[in-house]
Structure formats: C-alpha cells, structure tokens
Chain A
Amino acid sequence: MNVYITDGTENCFYTAVFNACTDKDCIVTSSCAVQLPLGANVVAVTADGEKCTRVKKKLNEYAPHALKDIPLLLRRGCANKEQTALEYIRLIMEKKAPVKDMLSHPAVIAATEEMRKVTLEAHRFTGFLRFMEGSGGIFYAPFEPDNDILELILPHFIRRLKNQPFVIHDTIRGKAALYNMRECAIVHTDKKVNVVLSDCEDAFQKLWKEYYESVNIAQRPHEKQMKGYMPIRYWKYMPEKH
C-alpha cells in the first residue's frame, strides 16, 4: 500500500492525486502524525507543475465546481482532509460529470460536510474577530481558528475597513495578514507577538463589556444556546467574555 505524503499545498496535493487517483486503497495525507499501516510504502511527493495542471484541466472539464471545492476542503484542520478530497475527485473522474448535487453519495456527503465546516467557521469569524487599537493606530486582531481560514475572511475586512491599517494574526498557524490601506501581504510570524495598545483601548473595551452585561435579559437564561452559537474555544480574544 502506498502512502503519499504531501507538503500541505494545493499544487502538491494535485500532483499526488495524479498517481493516487487510480491507485486503489492508497493514502494521501499532509500530516506527519499519521499512523502508517503494516507494509506501507511511503512516497514523498514534491509539487510537479505539469501533473498538477493536467489534473486541474480534467477537473475543469468534468466538474468546474471542484476547482473551488478542493481548495476549501484542503483548508480543513483535520488529518484526513486529503483523503476526503481524493474520494471526491475519484467520484468526479468516474462519473465524468459534476457531482455536487449527488447528495446521497457518501463521498459527496463527506465532502459537503467538511466544506460546510470551513465556510461556517469563516462566516463566524467575520463576527467574532476582535480588533484592538495599537499605539501606532494599527488595529491588531489575533484569532485561533480550527481551519485555515485567514485568506477566506481577509477580503471581507479589506472591503469593510479599507481606510484602517490592520493585522489579522492566526496564532495557531503562525501567519498574519498585514494591511496598510493600499496593499495586503500574508507573512509567517511567531505564534506570539507583543502589541503596545493605544491609551483609549482599555476604555472602549470596558464600555463594550458594560454594553454586553446590560443588553442581556437575566430573566431568560439560556447559556447552552449561547455556547452552541458561540463555542467556548472562540472566547479567548473576546473582551466581553473576560
């Protein structure tokens, strides 16, 4: 049995798919923590421009929607994301047609659910992300998403706060988006950075907490619902929950 190890990038995954698609019961993964089965033959894949283009071309021919779906699936923060994506591609190659509406097929069900988890989290963070004003007037927002969604939420914040310099920092993956009101760059960072806050930041956080306390209707407690919509793991950087 072959185990294809990719470096986690999209191109590398497509290169692996080139062989893996017809290689029955193989494993494709980017995780170093994967448990190798007995008799596994490890293949370390390096991105190959030509193989990658050929896979993409076929996908575009049979099911153009896949070129949007696969990158979403690969943003998922779990070890078997490549495997889910591979099964999805195999089905497309078998049917030679778009498959996204085959909602009772196991491969489509799995892929749809995983994609949904990514887009749902991205949507949630358009609301749950919190900026703090730095002393230089740059707004800093750290967050710890389950999935790699920095690039997904970035366009939203650039449209919305286009006249405000900001940094959005994924502290789990050690990467940050820097925006200076003209252009935006994504850079690798340390997992923790020190930010000096502006003088008024504390006052506004206090006002926000006051607002949060006051708008609650204490006679109608429903904490479980609150936690369902706003899971505790997202509270870390929300001033109103501290």
Chain B
Amino acid sequence: MIDAERLKILTESAKYDVSCSSSGSRRANTKGGIGNASVGGICHSFTPDGRCISLLKILMSNRCSYNCLYCPNRAEADVPRASATPDELCELVIAFYRRNYIEGLFLSSAVEGSPDRTMERMLDTVIRLRKVYRFNGYIHLKGIPMADRALVSRAAQYVDRMSYNVELPSEKSLRLLAPQKTKESVLLPMKQLFLEKKAAGEEKGKNRKIFLPAGQTTQLIVGASPESDGQILKLSEAMYRRFSLKRVYYSSYVPVVRHSLLPDRCTGLLREHRLYQADWLMRFYGFDADEIAKEGENLPEEYDPKCAWALRNMQFFPVEINTAPLEELLRVPGIGTLGAYKIIKARKFAKLDFSDLAKMRIVLKRAKFFITCGGKFYGSDNYDTVKTALMLEERSEKYEQLSLFSTPETSLSVHTGQL
C-alpha cells in the first residue's frame, strides 16, 4: 500500500491540472468487473477552494528531466521527489472506488528518463487496472509529448479521455518558458488521436472498438505570458474546430516558482472567469471568437463578454420573447441555455409577460434592457444608462458571486465534473 507521505507529494504535484471532469463516457461494467462510467459525470467531494473531486488526480512520478520554468517539479527545483509503482496505484484506485470516494483515475507523470519510458509505465498501469483489476470506471490519461505514436494509440484503446496540455498560448512563449517542448510535440498527437477516433467511429459491427469515448481536452495557463484574451480565444476556437476537443481549461497563473522571466503575482480569478464565460459562448451559444474579442483585445472586466457583445450590437435588440427564434434568445444577456429552452417550450401554451418570466426564474436584471414581452419594453433607449446599469449589476454581483448558489455562468468558474 502507498504511504501517506508519497501520496501527498504525488498529489500536490498534480493538483494544478484543473481538468477533473468525469463525463462523456458510457463504459459499462463487465462480468466479474468493478465499476462503470456515468455519462454526465459525478462529483464525489468538494475542496475548500471550491473545486470538485471527481477523479483521483495523481502523478506516477515527479522526478522530471525537463526544466519548464513555470513548473514546480522542474528538474532544477529543490522539492521532495517520489514515485509510485503501477500496482500501488491500482490498489489505491480500487480501494477508493469501492468506498465511492472517486469516479476513476486521472493519471499524469513527470518525464522521468525519456518520454517513451514514462509513457510505457503509465500505459502499464492503465492496462493492469483494466485487465488484472478488471476496473471499468473512468480513466483520464495525460499524454506525454514526444512519446512514440504507437504508445499513444494503444493507450487510447484503454482509457476514456486523454489530454495534452498546450500550457502556453503561443509558440514564442513556449520556446521561452518551456524550452524542451515544442508546439508540434503537443499538437501532433492531438491530431493523431482525433483522426484515429474518427476512423474508429466509422468502423461497423464487430470491428468497432471503444476508442477514447470521452475525447480529448487541453489546458492553457493564463497570465504567465503576455498573450491577449482575443489571441487565447482564437487558439481555443481553432482547437475546438480542428481536433473537436471536448474542453479547453484555463488556469490562472499561480506563482509557485520565482523566476525573472515570470510574473510574481497571481493572475486574478476574474480574468480566468471571463475566459470561461467566453468559452461557453463559443461552445453553447453560437458565438465566434472574433465576435467576442478581436485578436489583440482583452475581455472587459466590468461586465461579462455577452453584455459586452450586446452593447456593441444594440441594433439587434430588443428581441420579442414570444416570437424570437432560439438563436436570438441565446444572445440576450442574462438568458442562459436553460432559460432559452424554457421560454421556447412555455410560449407554445401561453403568451409570456414579464411576471411569467420572473415566475419561471428567468433573471431579468440584465435581460430587461434587451427584450420586449408582448411589445412592452422596460429597458432604456439611452445607451449610457444601459451600460451603467449593467456595470452596477455586475459590481453588486461580485459579492453575490462568491456566495452560495452562483448563477449558472458564475458556477462555471469552478470546474466541476459535471460540466
């Protein structure tokens, strides 16, 4: 059994990886096996930083031969080092899983020796977990850049999700801060997995195998390098489109390492929050990156990106709640996807007015400036009034945001397994 000391070292080294979701896979239990995957994902606990615990997030080893400047485990750093054997990890996963502590395993590793050797050890753990321990729960495997193609394909046949972290949003920053990584070493395996998954999905009948059912994700560090929000969103959009990634995670930079090339202050959580809001707009609300922020621009701090877009495009508003198509409802600040679907269903039976919307728990604080109900309008024709009202609303919410149940959009700042 693994001892508490090593568990601590290997967990603390893994915790800055924000991804934790356990959704997207329907792997079933097998005869004589243990576990299955729940397609919506399940959160098993929440830590005092507000993040969910869904998977056992752990490194195989933190003895790294690379020297990425931002990383607490870089080769030159003076930190306690540890590693775990495949069997120790498997036993821990099974013991936790039987007690319903976790949904599965998120396995990552420092590059110990060569990338191939590291990847082989991770693959060994995963295969052992599936075949010897007959585990059918969720497995998320971190890909090691520059490991052999064949290892990558093989891993994808056993795990539910894989991720290669881009970390820095431009090639220039990557060269400066992570000299042993290249853009290609991260993007090529992503492309390979995308193509192989597509091919596996086209197979018919008996030949059809489970291949990476929950797809791929990646992570970007925000604030360690000078890229603008617009540039970051453009990169995310390209990755969503080209590799059909399930998610891009944004991690605001926390200085765990001091270095002259790195900022020594935390990037505010607000910036990260705004990026997630913008990311949601691209994935669920039909926005393009260009509409949200241009290449060199940053997202406004004073209100959310949807408000910002609406203020720039007042010619599209107000829209009539009782007749507007779904795409237009989705673009109204303050109306989320759930709200829009509710409106579409409810208006088939009865004409809606403002009091109906309030009863349906659709928040009108922002929306009232952009909608009419049966021709009635409670907003304002004066652009500056609207702008001020939205800013005040946001500011009063800043305190609320940190309180109990945040609005759907603010709750996205925490990366729950269900999202």
Contact = CB atoms under 8 A, between A and B. Distances in A.
Interface of A: 101-106, 109, 123, 126-133, 139, 141, 156-157, 159-164, 200, 203-204, 206-208, 210-230, 238, 240
Contact of B4 (A103, A128, A156, A206): A206
Contacts of B33: 163
Contacts of A223: 48, 50
B342 interface: yes
B54, B99, B360 — which one has the most chain A CB atoms within 10 A of its CB? Answer: B99
Contacts of B405: 228
A163 B346 contact: no
Contacts of B4: 206-207, 210
Contact of A226 (B1, B46, B92): B46
B150 interface: no
A225 B50 contact: yes
B42 interface: yes
Given A128-B44, A139-B98, 20 more contacts: A101-B346, A102-B349, A104-B359, A130-B100, A161-B34, A163-B32, A163-B34, A200-B95, A207-B2, A207-B95, A210-B4, A211-B11, A213-B8, A215-B11, A215-B47, A215-B53, A224-B402, A224-B404, A225-B46, A228-B404
A130 B345 CA distance: 39
A20 to B, nearest CB: 25
A159 to B, nearest CB: 6
Contact of B29 (A159, A204, A207): A159
Nearest to A205: B99
Contacts of B393: none
Contacts of A225: 46, 50, 402, 406, 411, 414
B32, B43, B50, B403 — which one has the most chain A CB atoms within 10 A of its CB? Answer: B50
B51 interface: yes
B29 A229 contact: no
Nearest to B255: A219
A127 B44 contact: yes
Contacts of A156: 38
A5 B359 CA distance: 31
Given A210-B8, A211-B56, A219-B266, A226 B48 contact: yes
A130 B101 contact: yes
A226 to B, nearest CB: 4
B335 interface: no
A212 B53 contact: yes
27 contacts: A102-B346, A104-B350, A104-B360, A105-B349, A127-B45, A131-B98, A139-B98, A161-B35, A161-B98, A162-B29, A164-B34, A206-B4, A207-B1, A207-B92, A212-B45, A212-B53, A215-B15, A216-B15, A216-B49, A219-B266, A220-B49, A220-B254, A224-B404, A225-B411, A229-B50, A229-B414, A240-B45
Contact of A214 (B15, B52, B92, B342): B15
B49, B350, B356, B403 — which one has the most chain A CB atoms within 10 A of its CB? Answer: B49
B219 interface: no
Contacts of A227: 404
Nearest to B28: A159
A221 B45 CA distance: 16
Contacts of B7: 207, 210-211, 214
B363 interface: no
Nearest to B43: A127
Given A222-B414, A224-B402, A214 B12 contact: yes
A71 to B, nearest CB: 22
B345 A216 contact: no
Contact of A217 (B15, B98, B348, B349): B15
B362 to A, nearest CB: 10
A218 B49 contact: yes
Contacts of B349: 101-102, 104-105
Contacts of B49: 216-218, 220-222, 226
A228 B49 CA distance: 12
Contact of B96 (A160, A204, A219, A228): A204
Contacts of A131: 98-100
B416 interface: yes
Nearest to B355: A104
A203 B47 CA distance: 21
Pairs of residues from A and B, 8 with the lowest C-beta to C-beta distance, nearest first:
A225-B50, A222-B50, A103-B346, A214-B11, A216-B47, A104-B356, A101-B345, A230-B46
Nearest to A99: B349
A185 B70 CA distance: 55
A126 B38 contact: yes
Contacts of A217: 15-16, 47, 49, 51, 254
A103, A200, A224 — which one has the most chain B CB atoms within 10 A of its CB? Answer: A103
A78 to B, nearest CB: 19
Nearest to B353: A104
B311 to A, nearest CB: 29
Nearest to B266: A219
A39 to B, nearest CB: 32
A102 B54 CA distance: 36
Given A104-B349, A133-B98, A212-B53, A109 B359 contact: yes
B257 interface: no
A141 B99 CA distance: 9
